[in-house]
Amino acid sequence: MQNKVLFCATVDYHFKSFHLPILKWFKEQGWEVHVAAFGDMELPFVDRKFHIPIQRSPFKLKNMEAYQELKKIIGEQQYRMIHCHTPMGGVLTRLAAQSARKNGTKVIYTAHGFHFCMGSPIMNWLVYYPIEKMLSRNTDCLITINQEDYELAVNHHFKADRIEHVHGVGVDIDRFKPIDENNKHERRKKLGYNKNDFLLFYAAEFNKNKNQQFLIKAIAKMKEQVPHAKLLLAGEGQLLEECKKLALELGAEKMVHFLGYRNNIDEILPLCDAAVASSLREGLPVNIMEAMACGLPVVATKNRGHNELIQHHCSGWTVDNESIQEMVERLVLLAREPNLLTTFGQKGREIIESKYSVNNVINQKSFIYLEYMKEMEDFSWAAQ
């Protein structure tokens, strides 16, 4: 029988953005790869794709339909392994896979940042915590991507057979890398920026959690101290127009550049001076890892994901998410001390190379997969 693996998430672009190297790895092992998610995107390294109407909100009735479809697919396909991602992808898949798991299918779930964490709203604990703890019983391996989530799952006695800490989804350090000064200046010219501009970069969806208003208010306060500072914001989202209006109201419209959706972040990051981030909650943010891989110092608000990646006073700084003034002071210091840009940026690159490169993460994940594959082989021999 052909070994088959199912990957499931709420939306299919989750796999294009984060998991293509792992899909490729399974193909290299000779496995048939299936994906189930909402969306019609074509994905490489995938033998079969199922369009499932999974909704992000747990209160959407469409999720009942998605559950029934997943249960039918899992029952028919007889997967040896299932790996689910995202909150609703994880909930529905683990519920739908209960019978298959009793028959030997290994079910793995990656928590890309629990919605309940230190400092999160009490409602998150009331809604998401009991669901995740209950479903951990239906999980062979729970993978967390930051130390705080790992310790929470262990200390709160989540019942998964295994709980592992893997360093995120990995960064392609050959694609995201520093460039020399001449190349940087040439790229700036093409995009209309000057050699002396102090360029800050943040790529994220415009929503309440990403909190871009914090950065817009900070850059506006820097007008007198660093008049050549510019904040480059890439992304789209519900709060985009509101953020544009705020920049105008603060007289910072010439300092804040809204870049829209970009698929060339690897070309923009290296020409910048520093990366910033303002989100209230993060698991282990890829945008910060990509910036560090490009040799940029990072100034970001305090949360578990930022705290894990950024070594305070070493590769950048973390600041209180209510202290705009602290953010301003750190950025002004970076603008006035070019040596900090270099030393912090080099340290950040070293951190990514040592732990968070895509090859390191593939090695961590494949170790887990191979243990289950070996267990399956041993079981097959014993059955004969």
pLDDT of residue 185: 93
Task: Give per-residue pLDDT as tens, 215-242.
Answer: 999 999 999 999 999 999 999 999 999 9
Does residue 118 register a pLDDT over 80? no
pLDDT of residue 13: 93
For the chain, the average pLDDT equals 95
Does residue 117 register a pLDDT over 90? no
Which of 329, 300, 335 is CA-nearest to residue 317?
A: 300
Task: Give per-residue pLDDT as tens, 100-115.
Answer: 999 999 999 999 999 8
Q: Is 144 exposed, middle or buried (0-12, 13-18, 19+ CB in 10 A)?
A: buried
Q: Give a three-class secondary structure readout of 160-195.
A: CCEEEECCCCCECCCCCCCCCHHHHHHHHHHHCCCC
pLDDT of residue 230: 98
CA 291 – CA 271 distance, rounded (Å):
11
pLDDT of residue 1: 66
Q: What is the rounded average pLDDT of the residues 248-257?
A: 97
CA 223 – CA 228 distance, rounded (Å):
8
Backbone phi, then psi, for 263, in 5-degree steps?
-110, 15
pLDDT of residue 381: 42
pLDDT of residue 121: 83
Q: Is 140 in contact with 371 (CB distance < 8 Å)?
A: no
- Residue identified by tokens 């998605």 is 66
Token representation of residue 250: 């603060």
Q: Is 124 in contact with 131 (CB distance < 8 Å)?
A: no
Q: Is 232 in contact with 272 (CB distance < 8 Å)?
A: yes
Does residue 342 register a pLDDT over 60? yes
Does residue 303 register a pLDDT over 80? yes
Tally of CB atoms within 10 A around 380: 10
pLDDT of residue 32: 98
Does residue 320 register a pLDDT over 90? yes
pLDDT of residue 383: 45
Does residue 325 register a pLDDT over 80? yes
pLDDT of residue 378: 63
SS3 30: coil
pLDDT-above-70 percentage for the chain? 98
Does residue 382 register a pLDDT over 50? no
Residue 379: pLDDT band (50, 70, 90) is low
CA 320 – CA 383 distance, rounded (Å):
58
What's this model's pTM, rounded to 2 decimal places? Answer: 0.92
Question: Which domains are assigned to the chain?
Answer: 4-170+358-383 (3.40.50.2000), 181-355 (3.40.50.2000)
pLDDT of residue 384: 40
- Residue identified by tokens 């309940």 is 116
Token representation of residue 261: 């959706």
Residue 251: pLDDT band (50, 70, 90) is very high
Residue 128: pLDDT band (50, 70, 90) is confident
